């Protein structure tokens, strides 16, 4: 039983690390999206291509309700780690 509990703790730590990494990269992509949507960048062909890539989905993939899921996910992460997942030099801006 002790061995199984240790394995569970290791998996929980791995999951927490992966969730922090996912949130980090999600925020980076969100920043890129926001820059591409700025009026002064929209006419640029590269900005349009980047947005096209960001919005492309795989067949069978259902997009979640972005506003609610993103908000809930972010609040859950804040409550769980109190910002400990931030990389040095990164700011939380909304």
Q: Is residue 86 part of a domain?
A: no
Cα-based torsion angle of the residue sequence 71, 36, 28, 93 in order, rounded to the nearest 10 degrees:
-50
Q: What's the pLDDT at 86?
A: 44
**pLDDT one-digit tens code per residue, 3-25:** 999 999 999 999 999 999 999 99
Q: What's the pLDDT at 11?
A: 98
Q: Is residue 13 part of a domain?
A: yes
Q: What's the pLDDT at 42?
A: 67
Q: Are 34 and 93 in contact (CB under 8 A)?
A: no
Residue ranges in the chain whose pLDDT is less than 50: 68, 70-71, 73-90, 92-94
Q: Is residue 53 part of a domain?
A: yes
**Domain boundaries, position 20:** 2-81
Q: Is residue 69 part of a domain?
A: yes
Q: What's the pLDDT at 60?
A: 72
Q: What's the pLDDT at 79?
A: 44
Q: Are 73 and 23 in contact (CB under 8 A)?
A: yes
SS3 annotation, the chain? CHHHHHHHHHHHHHHHHHHHHHHHHHHHHHHHHHHHHCCCCCCCHHHHHHHHHHHCCCCCCCCCCHHHHHHHHHHHHHHHHCCCCCCCCCCCCC
CA distance 49 to 43: 11
Q: Is the pTM of this model over 0.85?
A: no
Counting the structural domains of the chain, the total is 1
Q: What's the pLDDT at 94?
A: 40
Find the length of the chain. Answer: 94
């Amino acid at each position: 039983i002790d061995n199984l509990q240790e394995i569970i703790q290791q998996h929980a730590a791995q999951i927490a690390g992966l969730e922090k990494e996912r949130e980090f990269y999600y925020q980076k992509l969100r920043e890129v999206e926001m820059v591409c949507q700025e009026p002064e960048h929209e006419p640029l062909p590269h900005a349009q291509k980047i947005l096209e890539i960001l919005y492309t989905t795989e067949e069978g993939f259902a997009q979640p309700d972005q506003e609610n899921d993103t908000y809930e996910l972010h609040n859950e992460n804040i409550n769980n780690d109190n910002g400990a997942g931030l990389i040095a030099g990164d700011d939380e801006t909304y």
